[in-house]
Amino acid sequence: MALFGRKEYTIINVKKKEIPAGLWAKCPECSAALYKKELTINFSVCPKCGYHHSLTAKERVDLIIDPGTFKELNPNLISGDPLAFKGPKTYKAKLTEDQKSTGLKDAVLTGHGKLNGHPIVIAVTDSRFIMGSMGSVVGERITRAIEYATEHKFPVTIVSGSGGGARMYEGVFSLMQMAKTCAALAKHDQKGLIYISVLTNPTMAGIMASFAGIGDIIMAEPKALIGFTGPRVIEQTIRQKLPKGFQSSEFLLAHGLIDMIVDRKDMKQSIFKIIGYCVNGKLKS
């Protein structure tokens, strides 16, 4: 009773141990709290539900190409402003902003390197740069990379991650890139050389309607959104409810649009095996 009857008492302040910011990430699929270091070790794939988080173009290259072998192609091409586009932001302002935030000059990284010792040309679009959309520079870089592969008889892999399709800021100039990239791939194919298209979340619109959709082998990461127009717009247009999982990798594999679904950790080895089925980068007859 003496303890509770005391008029004087001491207040002890316990200082909370603060957790440094930036150590944790939340999975958008299952809402699990993920330690970023462990997430990185796991190729940015959620260990709880298998959700594949976005990667930068540089991270994609590092995932597929042997360390120290990547050489970038045409790094100094920069978009112009052919329409003098003006909106809430001008096109020039948007380009400058995304160049600073991503460290890229445009939405694609192209180059050549080695995959398990085998020479290969690779192009990777980056969704952080104007949604990975394709303007004249993206189309030109991809086309030149394909032409380099054709000249040197190398296989081509293009990793697509674009929710923006053709870039509206450049009008018809961006739409022309769809035909140009496909024409370069047609010449690559005529030489009997292989092209592997890798689809990631999301791959949509003009990207999917051009080079991303015409691979000799089309593989996709699990649960990626793949299509032309988004499901919400389609439902509003046809006024019907779409099937469950519509436009997911799994749905499209079941309906024959893609050839295989590959977990990110297996991507490099899967591409290497497909190249191994060829002779010197050429498709076997």
* Cβ within 8 Å of residue 21, ≥6 positions away: none
Choice among 66-70, 112-116, 173-177, 227-231 with the minimum mean pLDDT: 227-231
Q: What percent of the chain has pLDDT over 70?
A: 88
Rg (CA), the chain: 23
Res 260: pLDDT: 94
pLDDT in tens, 247-264: 888 989 998 889 999 998
Res 285: pLDDT: 47
Please state the rounded mean pLDDT for residues 43-50: 73
Whole-angstrom Cα distance, residue 193 to residue 186? 10
Nearest to 131, CA basis, from 95, 174, 94, 165: 165
- pTM as predicted: 0.83
pLDDT band for position 55 (cuts 50, 70, 90): confident
pLDDT at 282 over 80: no
Res 193: pLDDT: 93
- DSSP letter for 213, please: G
Please state the rounded mean pLDDT for residues 54-81: 91
Res 53: pLDDT: 72
Q: 215: burial class by Cβ within 10 Å (0-12, 13-18, 19+)?
A: buried
